[in-house]
């Protein structure tokens, strides 16, 4: 039985790995392992969550909560369902219970800005303004330009009679927000040009990938050819040596 030389086998294996890496999307390497949920339950989870979101959009918060609960029966740590239920509870005035669900989100991700802002708002709604400010401060430690935290903090400060500090927060928001002109819708020609440029960039990237794959295939074919040629030479030399 004929074997390629060790160096050639290593080269072919390395090139095969390169081809595999080119064919796999980058996001595949960053995904967290899925929890042990059956496909059937996963389908139900997605269905319940979509229903909850639809009801939430319709401002039918109590019904939305019932579907968030169905999601949580399948996966008690579904962060989107926990957050959705927290907001829904706040919207129907159940702020203390909302805080308990924001806490569950924060147990999973202690730096979830939306949950920190949500808990701060809920605390503000039950009159705990100082504690609300402490949570807005946690948000601002993560993102010093978070508009929701700055505005909420200003409201909490105003409730405490600290008007100068509140005004300072509002003034900072003004420095962060872009000028009014930047909110204008760009002309149609600009949008079309951006689309053309995006397509051109995609085409160029696709061309480069195809070119790389072709080059790798050519190298593999060349290596295979050289290996077969080496085998032929070896066979001829063997035959001559036997004669």
Task: Name the band, by pLDDT with cuts 50, 70 and 90, for residue 20.
Answer: very low
Structural domain including 212 reads 187-243
Residue 224 included in any domain: yes
Rounded mean pLDDT of the chain?
78
Task: Name the band, by pLDDT with cuts 50, 70 and 90, for residue 30.
Answer: very low
Total number of domains in the chain: 1
Task: Name the band, by pLDDT with cuts 50, 70 and 90, for residue 180.
Answer: low
User: 84 burial class (0-12, 13-18, 19+ CB within 10 angstroms)?
Assistant: buried
Residue 17 included in any domain: no
Asked if 5 and 227 touch (Cβ cutoff 8 Å), the reply is yes
Q: What would the pLDDT profile of 186-223 be if each residue is shown by its tens digit?
A: 555 444 555 556 666 766 777 778 877 787 877 777 77
pLDDT value at position 214? 81
Residue 200 included in any domain: yes
* pTM, entire model: 0.60
pLDDT value at position 101? 95
pLDDT value at position 44? 86
Residue 197 included in any domain: yes
Residue 89 included in any domain: no
pLDDT higher than 90, residue 137: yes
Residue 5 included in any domain: no
Encode burial over 168-207: b for 16+ CB neighbours within 10 A, e otherwise. ebeebeeeeeeeeeeeeeeeeeeeeeeeeeeeeeeeeeee
Residue 205 included in any domain: yes
Residue 94 included in any domain: no
- Please tell me the distance from the alpha carbon of residue 221 to that of residue 217, in angstroms, as a whole number: 6
DSSP class of residue 183 equals G
């Amino acid at each position: 039985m004929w074997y390629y030389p060790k160096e050639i086998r290593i080269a072919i294996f390395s090139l095969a790995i390169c081809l595999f890496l080119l064919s796999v999307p980058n996001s595949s390497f960053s995904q967290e392992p899925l929890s042990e949920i059956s496909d059937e339950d996963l389908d139900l989870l997605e269905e319940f969550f979509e229903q909850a979101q639809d009801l939430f959009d319709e401002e039918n918060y109590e019904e939305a909560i019932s579907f968030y609960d169905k999601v949580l029966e399948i996966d008690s740590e579904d962060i989107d369902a926990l957050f959705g239920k927290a907001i829904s509870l706040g919207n129907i005035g159940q702020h203390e219970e909302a805080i308990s669900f924001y806490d569950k989100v924060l147990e999973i991700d202690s730096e979830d800005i939306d949950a920190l802002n949500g808990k701060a708002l809920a605390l503000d709604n039950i009159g705990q303004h100082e504690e609300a400010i402490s949570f807005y401060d946690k948000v601002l430690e993560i993102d010093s330009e978070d508009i929701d935290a700055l505005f909420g903090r200003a409201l909490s400060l105003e409730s405490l009679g600290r008007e100068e500090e509140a005004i300072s927060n509002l003034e900072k928001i003004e420095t962060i927000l872009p000028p009014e002109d930047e909110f204008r819708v760009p002309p149609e020609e600009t949008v079309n040009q951006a689309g053309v440029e995006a397509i051109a960039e995609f085409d160029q990237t696709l061309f480069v990938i195809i070119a790389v794959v072709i080059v790798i295939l050519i190298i593999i074919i060349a290596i295979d050819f050289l290996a077969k040629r080496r085998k032929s030479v070896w066979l001829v030399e063997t035959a001559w040596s036997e004669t």
